[in-house]
Amino acid sequence: MARESAGGRGDAGAGVPGWVEPMLATTDGGRLREGPQWAYEYKLDGYRACMRIATDGATVLTSRNGIDFTDEFADLTGVLTECLEGRSAVLDGEIVAYNDDGQIDFGLLQERRGRYQTHRSSVRRGEPFEDIPVRFLVFDLLQLGGVSLLREPYDERRRQLTRLSMPDPYRVEVVRAFTFTGLAADRRTPRHLLDHVKTSGHEGVIAKLRTSAYTPGRRSGAWLKHPLTQTTEVIICGYRPGQGRITGRMGGLLLGAHDPDTGDLVYIGDVGTGFTEDERGRLQARLESLEQKRHPFAVAPPRADVDRAHWVRPEMVGEVVFRQFTRGAGRLRHTAWRGLREDKKPADVLLPHRPHPGAAETAPPVSSPGPTSGRVKEAAPDEEQSAVASPPVGPRITVQAGKRRLTLSNLDKPLYQDGFTKGEVINYYSRITPVLLPHLAGRPVTFIRFPDGVGGQQFIEKNVPQGAPAWLPTIRIARSGTRGSGEPITYALLDELAAVVWAANMAALELHVPQWTAAADGTRLPPDRLVFDLDPGPETSIVDCCRVAERLHDVLAADGLTPLAKTSGSKGMQLYCAIITDDPAAPSAYAKKLAQRLARETPDRVTAVMAKAQRTGRVFIDWSQNNPAKTTIAPYSLRGRDHPTVSTPVTWDEVRGCRRATQLVFTADDVLDRVNDHGDLLADLDTTRMALP
């Protein structure tokens, strides 16, 4: 999918090839792929750019989202004219800057960009920025001499790229690549390459399928990124107040550490993700008690970095996950909060380990062998309530889950963007199992799996996957609406701790169930639950859903039913009533009637139709989830969102008191605390069963 650049300086009249929207990598879920079909390149920390060169050498640089970079990085243009010998070309790569130790430094690139943007409208627009030179590192050749190479395999594109001589490698150079076979010939493995990548300060590696074509504009599983993350202790030195939905609470923390050479407290960046809603509130209270007027650092941080800062006495220690510590600026990058470290003293917190100086981008992998490690959870064999508890090390581990022994893998793989790992997912599901199982009992489970985490591909799975344990109970149920045609679906039934842990180990983050149970022979039994799914449209939130829920509560109660509420774990909420009926179609008809009634009474606030055009500013009452073919997110199920939020039972006092959306957002940790304090708020659901009106 090649597109002409909009407004590119070199496009007009110069025969510059059209812009090719970049192919994107997806996460590898923490497992670096190995085998002769893979090649590996450094994951670069710069600005992704497409370099397009006309036959006369006219060059245009375009960012990954179509912005013209040509003027800003004019010193990179014209470099390849000589080696192309009158041919046009399109190259994909990354613009980077290096610090004095020969390491790619994104902070320097940002500094350079800030200076350019400040002066681009002045007489200094052409300033060469000689103190921060840039380099274009090429990793793909998309077109050469008017011939598109997009459908050629990676190996062929790479072969043609490496045949181009680089006249000025200080400005344009080909990124070094390593094949699995080439590493093996050097008695090296991809793990050795990772060791080298870590010590040289790179962000990680990209594994590329050697037979893959280039697919413009798509995030492809043929390119898999393997970022490196580390943890470090930090001193909390200040905070920024939250905005929007977290107004009134801490929005992000400003961090420091001691320089081991001088003992000075220095600023090392900030962290704004990874907090639970409750944790933000708890931290806010402690931070307010420590506030002071001035920053605590030996040298004042850059003003742009600490806008809106509230400073505190540097007495609290925390831990963060980070991907990189830049040597030049001394900043943590890609941070996520892990929690307070009450066991650590501020005086013990030193700057994170910096990559070894002088490790250049093209250095070969020379590190000694060694397995990677990460936090995983070990079995608690005598505990029925939890299959996972404390953290040993290793990619696979055998645990005792109730009466079963299970082998779990990749427990340190992050499944959520805030760093919440698969081990933590399994830990949550194993601990929530006692209150989860009653809501799954006898109900066929539909899984939504996220094998590469919530940022990667997801898929719905109804049939039990191959390789499921023989002890897992299953049930074959005829497909809805097929009138006898089509193979029945073999669903899993989750009826014990081991089954829930097995599902979590498959990264089945979401569990969905119907409003009916099934007999042993696969016959659907009559619906036993009525559900209303309240979905907020644009310009509304769960606060609006709560107002609609209050009205539904009164109507349902007047009809003799007992409604109970839970959040969806996403934007909306659901109401449940336990019912008795012999007619599978009756719950949908009844729910539709009530939804239409509320829509007639307040058409500006409620809609009973799914059409998007009808939903702006309104809450959609989805009555159709009572259809026997439909499923609803199960109580206590995680959701596949940016953070590990949970579909959480709530009290009617919480519904009536909701005035901010954040009041009804609960993460896995929040829910475990709630269940510990209040038990299952839906425990009475089946004891309130009444005939459907």
CA-closest candidate to residue 450, choices 370, 527, 507, 376: 507
At residue 565, the pLDDT reads 97
Q: What is the arithmetic mean of pLDDT over 414-426?
A: 86
pLDDT band at 382 (very low <50, low <70, confident <90, very high): very low
What pTM value is reported for the model? 0.49
Q: Which residue has the higher pLDDT, 439 or 351?
A: 439
The pLDDT of 664-670, averaged and rounded, is 90
- Top pLDDT among 21 and 411 is at 21
Hey, what CATH class is 2-227 in? alpha beta
Q: Say how far apart CA 209 and CA 381 lie, in whole Å.
A: 41
Q: 396-513 sits in which CATH class?
A: alpha beta
Where in the sequence of the chain do the CATH 3.30.470.30 domains occur? 2-227
The span from the CA of 50 to the CA of 19, in Å, is: 7
CA gap 544, 550 in Å, rounded: 10
The partner residues of 340 in beta bridges, in order of sequence, read: 318
- 3-class SS letters over 284-305: HHHHHHCEECCCCCCCCCCHHH
- pLDDT of residue 374 exceeding 80: no
Q: What is the pLDDT of residue 393?
A: 31
For residue 485, the model assigns a pLDDT of 53
- Find which of 265-269, 399-403, 407-411 is predicted with most confidence, using mean pLDDT: 265-269
Quote the strand ranges of 514-581, DSSP E: 529-536, 564-567, 573-580
Separation of alpha carbons 515 and 528, rounded Å:
6
d(CA 323, CA 333): 6
Q: What is the pLDDT of residue 144?
A: 96
The predicted-structure confidence for 74-86, as pLDDT tens digits, reads as follows 999 999 998 999 9
CATH code reported for the domain at 230-348: 2.40.50.140
Structural contact between residues 50 and 215, judged by C-beta atoms closer than 8 angstroms? no
| Span(s) in the chain for CATH 3.30.70.3300 | 529-691
DSSP 84: H
Distance CA 378, CA 373 (A): 14
The model's pLDDT over 84-139, given as tens digits with 9 standing for 90+, comes to: 999 999 999 999 998 877 888 776 787 787 677 666 554 344 455 677 899 999 99
For the chain, what percent of residues have pLDDT higher than 70? 87
Report the chain's mean pLDDT, rounded to a whole number.
84
Asked if 292 and 390 count as a contact pair (C-beta separation under 8 A), the reply is no
Q: Which architecture, in CATH terms, is 529-691? A: 2-Layer Sandwich (3.30)
- Per-residue pLDDT, 388: 35
Residue given tokens 């799954």 in the structure block: 440
User: What is the pLDDT confidence band of residue 622, given thresholds at 50, 70 and 90?
Assistant: very high
pLDDT at 186 over 80: yes
pLDDT tens track for 153-170 = 999 999 999 999 999 999
pLDDT score for 361: 30
Over the stretch 214-235, which tens digit does the pLDDT of each residue have? 999 887 789 988 877 667 889 9
In the chain, CATH 2.40.50.140 covers 230-348
The pLDDT value given to residue 373: 26
Contact 213, 79 (CB under 8 A): no
Q: Model confidence at 372, in pLDDT bands (50, 70, 90)?
A: very low
- Mean per-residue pLDDT for 309-320? 92
Q: What is the pLDDT of residues 465-499, one digit of tens each?
A: 988 999 999 999 988 754 445 689 999 999 999 99
Residues 428, 569: contact at Cβ < 8 Å? no
On the question of pLDDT at 236 being above 90, the answer is: yes
**Within a 10 A sphere around the Cβ of 523, how many other Cβ atoms?**
10
Min mean pLDDT across 373-387, 474-488, 568-582, 638-652 is at 373-387
